[in-house]
Structure 1
Amino acid sequence: MSIGAPSWMISVLVPIRESGALIPQWPIKNGTSHIQNRVALWRGGAVIQSICIAFMVPSVLFLQPLMAGLAILVLLSIMSIGRSLCSLTMKDIQGHNVSKGNRGRLTGMVATLSGIIALFSAGILWIGQKNIGDSLLVSVVGISSLLVISSLFFSRSVSAKVKVDSNGNNRLLDLFNLVRTNNDLKHLVMSRCLFLHGALVAPFFVTLSMNEEHSEFTLPFFIAASAVATFTSSYLWGLLSDKSAIRSLLIGGFICVVSCTLFVLFSQLNSVAAVLCFFLLNVGYAGIRNGRKTYILDIADAGERTSYVASGNTIVGIVLLGLGAFYALLFGIIEHHIISVMGILILAGCLHTTMLKKENKIELSTVTKSDR
């Protein structure tokens, strides 16, 4: 790590950030089901994230490398709780304020903006820390914290009071019983776990592309490819998801399968081919991500939407940890063949879309200004 912390800390950053934001959603859902004001909860999650980001700056500046690394891990863990709260409540807010037929488009617009910001981050990495200095990096982190805080101002006019259906299901066992007995939710979780390989395969694209012969193609190129793929395709995926989220899942998954196939066949030729395959992979996964988010909003009613999101995300978070550890071990055995394995599982996800409950895209214009 650039702050001089032990290298083992790098391997736990992504699991803490991703699974840490998913696994707690079931207990958070149970602990907040009595609070109908979902916007207030979302703002609380935003405040938690901004505070954690802000405290990362003095941690890097004033602590010794080991302590700085530990402090960042602790702050990242707390920040994941804030992300978890925002993720859980945002579905309620979107479902209440955005009607069917417009939800995918909104998700696409947000993803487009995030892609532009990611491209800016890639530019910073491209220039290099030695050229830009620590002060600029610290400034970027500080600005990120302020941007999160600014979201509180822009959300003043947004409201969403939703009565969450708790049904007394508070135990972890109730989580698995809910998924087991609800056929629609069960297939949704299965689909997410299969399509999750579209994200899991991405680091292996990067790892297998790094070699001494083409060392100039380093991480910034892949970050830039991912960012460009996101902001150029997300809005189009949103338009498609508003017509059929399942179709968006199917086409996005198929593109991911094609990118895995092309990577296996041509990535050894040169690193340009590897980056192009990575770009195509991210175009496909943008479709999967947009389709998934739109689908959950469209098939679940307001009362049960939180239960769907919380149960699905908690299980996917657990699966993500397990698959991450499994593929880390498997990669040492089969190496580049791991791309083929994951591509086959993504293809299985495409086939599984036939089992998903069909969305009802009839416009339900029940949200009025007085409701909001």
Structure 2
Amino acid sequence: MPATSAFARLTGSDPDTMPEDEARNGMIHVAALTLTKTADALIDPKLVLSWLMSALGAPGAMIGALVPLREAGALLPQLALARYVDASPQRKRIWAMAAALQGLAALGIALAALTLEGAMAGAAILACLGLLAMARAGASVSQKDALARTIAKGRRGSITGIAGSVAAGSVLAVGALLATGLFETAITPLAGLVAIAGAAFLLAAAIFLRLREPSGSPDDTEPEAGLSALIDPILNDSQLRLFVAARAVLSVTALAPPFIVLLSASSAQASLGDLGPLVIASTAASISASYVWGRLSDRSSRQTLMAAGALAALVFAAIATLALTFGSLGGPWGSAAAIFAAQIAYGGVRAGRKLHLTDMAEDAFRARYTALSNTLVGLALLAGGVFGLIADSFGPALVVLLFAALAAIGVALSHGLEEVQAD
């Protein structure tokens, strides 16, 4: 069948040995993830929403709350959701519902941007972003399980890599449009981008419901999962503890972009045209690396984490050295080059840690492993707010240098992980 052959070629598999249902499911995963990854980029709190709230005149404290709210809000509720996901006969329904809620929240942000201003706009956008983050928690808990139940090991990383690369292509065009300087005001075009993101989430929800996922819950064959059962893995599984520790320190790759932007000499006079190079840099990094990182993760997610962490350490050290030596990174395009390199490393960490957790956990425990890991890392991200205080006192260059040291620690921790892709 054409779909089987196409999907097999994309994942480097033999079409003659791939079931037709798996190929169909693979294309559905790719389509839905492409839409949500595109939407995520269009509503990026680090770039798009911070620019939008600044244009609306929202207080600086509200703008500073965007990234912690988005990241921690998407992780902290997952432990509470894991039991519900475990008991669900089909994970696709949970994922689709979560995607739809994200779409409605994004549309709410767009509406607030067009009708409110100042602190009122900031409060409304943060409230909608909080809803979006909580819905994303449900998507994260269910997506890995749905992927594992419908796609064989060895082809899962390629799916997320393909989706990331395709989505990045569309967002790259958006960045190029912004870089032209055609827009005199940031509010209307950025609100339009957020509305498009909302529509993409809703379409992804409809597509994912067509997934052919086997019915039945792993909980039919295991004891009821109470709170003690949910936290038991972190107490008894040394590999999970090591993975959470490695992931927590490597999360500096997600926190770094705002501090890199602060190192640009023109950041104080940033305009919408300056946003374009940053969007281009971020999406170009995804185009360059998503598929490669996905394929490498299929071979060894452990080595992918090590390689991405080492790259992050080198990139952050170089950025901090340049900033301390010359006082800046050379304006928006210099900052964009730094973000490009940093996002390459972030893509590797993201691909490696997602697939490592998917492949290390057994089917019956994958949802709770995901939720427990994400909840603990969410707490770490909340604690990461201290980096903002350090930047205020000592400058962002020191923070980026500290990130380099933490990334190096992440490499050492990842070295102790087992090779979960080995048969």
**Same fold (TM > 0.5):** yes
Could you tell me which residue of structure 2 aligns to residue 332 of structure 1? 392
Quick check: 2:310–2:411 contact (8 Å CA) kept in 1? Answer: yes
Structure 2 SS opposite 1:361: coil
Partner SS state of residue 104, structure 1: helix
| Counterpart-to-counterpart distance in 2, 1:213 and 1:141 | 24
What is the aligned counterpart of 2:321 among 246, 250, 265?
265
Q: 1:68 aligns with which of 121, 128, 138?
A: 121
1:11 is aligned to 64
| Paired position in structure 2 for 1:370 | none
Q: Distance in 2 between matches of 1:7 and 1:266?
A: 27
**Structure 1 residue 274: Cα displacement:** 4.5
The structural deviation recorded for 1:87 is 0.9
Name the counterpart of 2:217: 163
For 1:247, the equivalent position in structure 2 comes to 303
- In structure 2, how many angstroms separate the alpha carbons of the residues matched to 1:225 and 1:147? 22
CA distance in 2, matches of 1:215, 1:68: 20
Cα deviation per residue 1:330-350 (whole Å; 9 max; x = unaligned)? 223332222222111111111
In structure 2, the residue corresponding to 1:256 is in which secondary structure? helix
The alpha-carbon distance between structure 1 residues 4 and 167, as it changes in their structure 2 partners (threshold 3 A), is: farther
Matched position secondary structure for 2:422: coil
Cα distance in 2 for partners of 1:334, 1:56 equals 34
8 Å Cα contact 2:77/2:137 also seen in 1: yes
Secondary structure of the corresponding residue to residue 357 of structure 1: coil
Structure 2 spans left out of the alignment, 5+ residues: 1-53
The residue aligned with 2:357 is 296
Change in CA separation of 1:274 and 1:46 when aligned onto 2, cut-off 3 Å: closer
Q: Which moved more, 1:110-119 or 1:283-292?
A: 110-119
Q: CA deviation at 1:143?
A: 2.4
Unaligned runs of 5+ in 1: 363-372
Aligned partners of 2:104, 2:88: CA distance in 1, in Å?
Answer: 23
TM norm structure 1? 0.87
In 1, distance between residues paired with 2:131 and 2:182?
27
Question: SS in structure 2 opposite 1:131?
Answer: coil
8 Å Cα contact 2:302-2:356 kept in structure 1:
yes
2:286 matched residue in structure 1:
230
1:26 shift after superposition: 0.5
1:135 Cα shift?
4.5
Q: 2:196 aligns with which of 139, 143, 152?
A: 143
Matched, 1:316 2:372: no
Distance change >3 Å, CA 174–CA 238, structure 1 → 2 = same
Work out whether residues 91 and 142 of structure 2, in 8 Å CA contact, stay in contact via their aligned partners in 1. yes
Amino acid aligned to 1:75: C
Distance 1:170 1:116, change over 3 A: farther
What is the 5 A alignment of 1:1-372?
1-63=54-116, 65-127=118-180, 130-131=183-184, 134-160=187-213, 161=215, 163-165=217-219, 167-171=223-227, 176-211=231-266, 218-267=274-323, 268-269=325-326, 270-271=329-330, 274-323=335-384, 325-335=385-395, 336-362=397-423
What is the alpha-carbon distance in structure 1 between the residues aligned to residue 256 and residue 414 of structure 2? 20
For residues 330 and 167 of structure 1, the distance between their equivalents in structure 2, rounded to whole angstroms, comes to: 47
Bigger mean CA offset, 261-270 vs 223-232 = 261-270
Structure 1 residue 38: deviation in Å?
A: 0.6
Counterpart secondary structure, 2:65 = helix
Question: Secondary structure of 1:209's match?
Answer: coil
State the secondary structure of the residue aligned to 2:175: helix
- Contact 2:55–2:187 (8 Å) recurs in 1: no
Cα–Cα, structure 1 residues 167 and 182, in superposed 2: closer, same or farther, change >3 Å?
A: farther
Instruction: State the identity as a percent.
Output: 26
Give a deviation string over 1:343-365, Cα, whole Å, max 9, x none: 11111111112211221333xxx
Q: Deviations over 1:293-325 (max 9, x none)?
A: 1111111111111011000001101110111x2
C-alpha displacement of 1:72: 1.7
After TM superposition, the score normalised by the length of structure 2 is: 0.78
TM-aligned CA deviation for residue 132 of structure 1: 6.5
Following superposition, the deviation at residue 169 of structure 1 comes to: 4.7
